[in-house]
Amino acid sequence: MNEFMVNVKGHTVSCQVERRSVSRMTLKITPSKGLQCLSPHGVSDTQIASFIHANQDWLKKQVRLLGLSEQFCREHNSLPEQLQLGFDNSIFIVVHERAHRSPRVQRTSKQLQVYSNGSAVQVRQLLKSWIIVYAGEHLGARINALSTQHQLPFAGLSMGFAKMRWGSCRHDKAIRLNPLLLFLPRPIVEHVMLHELCHTVHHNHSKAFWALLEELDPNINAHKSFLRDTSKLYSHIPPFFWP
């Protein structure tokens, strides 16, 4: 893997080059990996440098995403002091205690007591386990209410972390939600829930599917736009939990 240094609006940015079995060169930016160039095997460094330079205008529009990558490097392994959940506006103060035996999270009112060995890896695992349980209870209650309200029954609900995939619905009408939805505003979460509930009727993205979703969610365009805006999404989720 090569590395190129790129100047974007006066800032020097690292671009990691990864050669793969792809047909053409592409640029992508993720908060956890920063700027990447995916290139076919056999393409020279000179060609890659020219390709990156030719996309300067696009890079200048991605300054906010590039900033998220810097934030990830600074904060991904910093133990959180609080969790602010946009779904129900709850704020939990996180208190860390050393405990080499019986690592766990204990909740007392609006405080989470995390007993761990102090490593970011273990604390992240403990908090994610707690988030799954909390999401199952609170997101579960809301999607059940929406299911009843709109007469869109589903077979079952599970929670699972995924890289920015917020939900899925299987052919047997079992729905899976990303527990990180807890950090997003409630209208966005309900849009995702309605999206998956509509898949219990239309297991595709046909015109009939979108018509049903628009009927249930009049603000569908604003909510879809929010979910497409990576920098806006990540501003609601603590870097500690970014995938």
Question: Model confidence at 81, in pLDDT bands (50, 70, 90)?
Answer: very high
**Same domain, yes or no: 54 and 116:** no
**Same domain, yes or no: 110 and 24:** no
Q: Of 75, 92, 125, which marks where a domain is finished?
A: 75
How much of the chain exceeds pLDDT 90, in percent?
A: 73
**Same domain, yes or no: 227 and 144:** yes
**Same domain, yes or no: 110 and 33:** no
pLDDT value, residue 1: 64
Q: What is the mean pLDDT of residues 178-183?
A: 98
Q: Of 75, 99, 129, which marks where a domain is finished?
A: 75
**Same domain, yes or no: 71 and 105:** no
CA torsion sign for 186, 187, 188, 192 is positive
C-alpha to C-alpha distance for 178 and 181, rounded to whole angstroms:
6
Report whether pLDDT(211) > 70. Answer: yes
Q: Of 24, 48, 75, which marks where a domain is finished?
A: 75
**Same domain, yes or no: 71 and 86:** no
**Same domain, yes or no: 45 and 152:** no
Question: Model confidence at 74, in pLDDT bands (50, 70, 90)?
Answer: confident
CATH of the domain at 102: 3.30.2010.10
**Same domain, yes or no: 110 and 189:** yes
Q: Which of 25-29, 57-61, 145-149, 176-180 has the lowest mean pLDDT?
A: 57-61
- Segments forming the whole domain that contains residue 202: 82-241
Judge contact between 28 and 36, C-beta under 8 A. yes
**Same domain, yes or no: 230 and 151:** yes
**Same domain, yes or no: 122 and 181:** yes
> pLDDT digit string (tens) for 35-70?
999 999 999 999 999 999 899 888 888 888 888 888
How many Å is the Cα radius of gyration of the chain?
A: 21
**Same domain, yes or no: 139 and 225:** yes
**Same domain, yes or no: 95 and 153:** yes
pLDDT value, residue 71: 85
Domain count, the chain: 2
Average of per-residue pLDDT values in the chain: 93
Q: What is the mean pLDDT of residues 87-111?
A: 94
Q: What is the mean pLDDT of residues 118-140?
A: 97
